[in-house]
A and B are shown apart, each in its own frame.
Chain A
Amino acid sequence: MNALLFYGFGATAVLASLLVIAQKNPIYSVLLLIASFGALSGLYVLLEAPFVAVIQIIVYAGAIMVLFLFVVMLLNAPHEDTEYDERVHPLLRPGPMRFGAALAIAFGIELVWALNRNGGEAGPFAGGAVSSVAAIGRSLFGPYAFPFEVTSVLILVAMIGAVVLARKEEP
């Protein structure tokens, strides 16, 4: 049963991500990404990390992706041109940029190879699950209290930065 769910969610995630980078219309990309996040959330549940799963939905799918949507709609972004710009440097045209994609594939292969070298643990997970929110909370306010507070400052800074950056120029 576990395996089935795993493969199901996994396939969804991968497929959705592939479609994200293949779509021309950015709205479709965003929506597909939400789907991908949903699949990931399921995977988290399978890993007995319900807190993370929920957070994923609330924060990522719910907040961040909505922000993306807003921006896409605000900018009324034109569709990406299919022909490349004549003015663009040859190295930056789709051809060479696909080199990047090729690199990515190479990277993936390297990762897999690395994992296999370490004697793949195909067996069940060794450690136990930590699924209680209380435990996580105790961890956060205990040993990780400092990063927790710093993160709040970080968010404040990001908020101010975003406001300043997106401000209209004074006429």
Chain B
Amino acid sequence: MLLLILLLPFAGFLINSTQGRRLSKGVSGAVACGAMIGSFLLSAVSVWRLVAMPVEERAIVQTVFTWIASGDFTAPFTLRLDPLSSVMILVITGIGSLIHIYSTAYMHEERDPEYARYFSYLNLFAAFMLTLVLGSNFLIMFVGWEGVGLCSYLLIGFWYEKKSASDAGKKAFIVNRVGDFGFVLGVFLAFVQFGTIDFQEIAHAVNAMGAEATFGTLSLMTLLLFVGATGKSAQIPLYVWLPDAMEGPTPVSALIHAATMVTAGVYMIGRNAALFSHAPQTLEIVAIVGAATALMAGTIGLVQNDIKRVLAYSTVSQLGYMFLAMGVGAFAGGIFHLYTHAFFKALLFLGSGAVIHALAGEQDLRRMGGLKRELPITYWTFLVGALAIAGVPGLAGFFSKDEILYRTYAAGHPLLWTMGLVTALLTAVYMFRLVFLAFHGERHSHDHHHLHDAPAPMAVALIALAAGSVVAGYAGLPAILGGGDWFATFLEPSFHVEIGHEASALDAHGLEMTLMVISIGVALAGIAIAAYFFLTRPAAADAMAERFAGPRRVLSNKYYVDEIYDAAIVQPIQIVSREGLWKVVDATLIDGTVNGVGRLVAGAADVIKRTQTGSVRAYAASLFFGVVAVLGYYLWQ
């Protein structure tokens, strides 16, 4: 049954990719959505079965076939459903289905074959993502890991005739590759250390060891795995592909670059929680990178003018939160934020898609304004998403973000907590800047056609996600607010973490409440700041921009990171390839050798041909010479 969960989308991919040319849009869309919805239903049933099992044995395992059997080493294609992966598959198939439905309307202007191609890629992505989270060993996870990278490339560059799109696709794939290299090295190291790549076996083995005191093999291994995560989940230093990935269609950004693929890195750490918790040095690094990324991305998002770019940097920033959580040992907290973020980030992206769709392709915030009146459904759902991400109490984002901040402080990292708090402020500011600029005030562009709000399929998805953004958080309602912390308890068996954190003296209800109040204050403050600058007194915003023109330019150019990478890495590689490898090795050495052999033969032949004098006497002479020589030789003997 588990296999079917990922086979359905794969079948959808096969149908749409091979028959796509002949199918009408209705049929392609129906096939793709049907596959996803079917997969969601199967996932729900499987999770239902899982929950019915007693806690200690919560796992459904299905071995499909033995892939590698070499000596002592076996790597079977085994799927394993446990609490952690059940959360993931519900998110993937549930939100995935909604996005598929949304796409049927959003992509409607494409031609039929392109439409089918889009859905085939989207289904393929779902199949690979499900493989990633259901795999029971590193090899299967890696298959999914690479597969989603491939689909991401295909979908970012969906409108491949546009150069910026195909460039963005390449950038995504190549940067991911760098991360994947680290990931693979980490897997090799794990194999060398443990003799197996199965997650359960590794967890058991590592729990028998103590935590590493200094940076040793475990730390190196986990660090390499984390490098892979920075690539896939867009953290420093490999986040540069995500903003460019906005060249792809908006539903793609929603699904892949918000809800699912970018969360693969977080999931990977969660899956290997036991391993990571035995490498405290790496966890430190993870937390620091997460916090730094969150803060940095937040600052950049503040000055972006493209609606999707703001959301892209927001995603990078929120992913930073997730890694911060993992880094301080709050594995359940990180996954919780992953789950809530999927809802509201997908919602925000789909909402921006509705705006773009209504404005026939306009994405610049400075040319929007006043859309609240004309796009009500879009506006209200978007507002829900913005409130959720800002961490306003009552909505999903509040619970998850708050959990992370509390855990960070309680684990004894006040600096990181401060960074997280500042990021929360920035999140509220840039998000509401977006809301006010796009939906409130007067329209800044001058075309006055009548705009239509989101068509039915898109509206359905938006409303569903908005509902989720409100309700989803209650699964993790913390104890101090009356809930039972069910989410974390549910996930506990998946993490197998046996290294207890020293019960911090700060662990008290009072602390948690205090921090919660501070977070709420920060969120509301952020909204107020945004309202001041962008709603009531826009002139003040411009004045600010003037005064801080220098820093603003740095932020606007994303700290020039892309330029630095280009100069330091890309250009040298290009030069080496062009001057060294191409001109010297290929053209001179290899071509020279091959051509040289040809020329050698021709030259030799040129010399030897002179024996063909055409004169019979010369031939007779040489013949006779041979006779004399042979006779002489025999006479000598």
B618 & A110 in contact (Cβ 8 Å cutoff): no
Partner of A100, one of B613, B621, B632: B621
| Interface of B: prevailing SS | helix
25 interchain pairs, CB-CB under 8 A: A89-B613, A89-B615, A91-B613, A91-B618, A92-B613, A92-B615, A92-B618, A97-B617, A97-B621, A99-B621, A103-B621, A103-B624, A103-B628, A104-B624, A106-B628, A106-B632, A107-B624, A107-B627, A107-B628, A107-B631, A110-B631, A110-B632, A110-B635, A114-B631, A114-B635
Within 8 A of B (CB), among A114-133: 114, 117
Pick the residue among A100, A114, A117 that contacts B624 (CB under 8 A).
Answer: A100
A114 CA to B625 CA, complexed, in Å: 17
**Bound-state Cα–Cα, A110 to B634, Å:** 10
Nearest 3 pairs between A and B by C-beta?
A: A100-B621, A92-B615, A107-B628
Name the contact of B635 in the complex, choosing from A89, A97, A117 (C-beta under 8 A): A117
Complex interface: chain A residues within 8 A of B631 (CB): 107, 110, 114
Q: Is A146 an interface residue (CB 8 A)?
A: no
In the complex, what residues of B have CB within 8 A of residue A107's CB? 624, 627-628, 631
* Smallest CB separation, A156 vs chain B (Å): 27
Q: Are B628 and A113 within 8 A (Cβ)? A: no
Which residues of A83-108 are within 8 A (CB) of B?
Answer: 89, 91-92, 97, 99-100, 103-104, 106-107
Chain B nearest CB from A134 CB (Å) reads: 39
Q: How far is the CA of A89 from the CA of B618 in the complex (A)?
A: 11
CB distance from A164 to the nearest CB of B (A): 21
Are the C-beta atoms of B628 and A100 separated by less than 8 Å?
no
CA distance A107 to B631 in the complex (A): 9
| Nearest CB on A from B496, distance (A) | 93
How distant is the Cα of A104 from the Cα of B621 in the complex, in angstroms? Answer: 10
B605-634 Cβ-contact flags toward A at 8 Å (1 or 0):
000000001010110110011011001100
Contact residues on B (Cβ < 8 Å of other chain), bracket:
10 to 19
A/B pair count, beta carbons within 8 Å: 34
| Closest B residue to A104 using CB positions | B624
CB neighbours (8 Å) of B624 from chain A are 100, 103-104, 107
Bound CA span A110–B347, Å: 108
Chain B contacts for A89, CB-based, 8 A? 613, 615
With a CB–CB cut-off of 8 A, which chain A residues contact B621? 97, 99-100, 103
Which residues in B have their C-beta under 8 angstroms from that of A92? 613, 615, 617-618
Which residues of A are found within 8 Å of B625, using beta-carbon distances?
Answer: 103
How far apart are the CA atoms of A110 and B621 in the complex, in Å?
17
Task: Report yes or no: B617 in contact with A110, Cβ–Cβ below 8 A.
Answer: no
Q: Residues of B contacting A103 with CB < 8 Å?
A: 621, 624-625, 628
* B618 proximity list for chain A (CB < 8 A): 91-92
- B242, chain A: closest CB distance, angstroms: 79
The answer for the CA separation of A97 and B620 in the assembled complex, in Å, is: 11
Specify which chain A residues have a CB less than 8 angstroms from the CB of B613 in the assembled complex.
Answer: 89, 91-92
A59-75 contact mask (Cβ, 8 Å, vs B): 1 or 0: 00000000000000000
Q: What separation, in Å, do the CA atoms of A89 and B621 have in the docked complex? A: 15
- 14 new A-B contacts, CB < 8 A, other than A107-B627, A107-B628, A114-B635, are A89-B613, A89-B615, A91-B613, A92-B613, A92-B617, A92-B618, A100-B620, A100-B624, A103-B628, A104-B624, A106-B628, A107-B631, A110-B631, A117-B635
Tell me which residues across on chain A come within 8 A of B632, comparing CB atoms: 106, 110
What separation, in Å, do the CA atoms of A113 and B634 have in the docked complex?
A: 12
Tell me how far the C-beta of B632 lies from the nearest C-beta in chain A, rounded to whole angstroms: 6
Give bound CA distance, A99 to B617, whole Å.
11
Q: A111 to nearest B CB, angstroms?
A: 8
Residue of B nearest to A99 (CB): B621
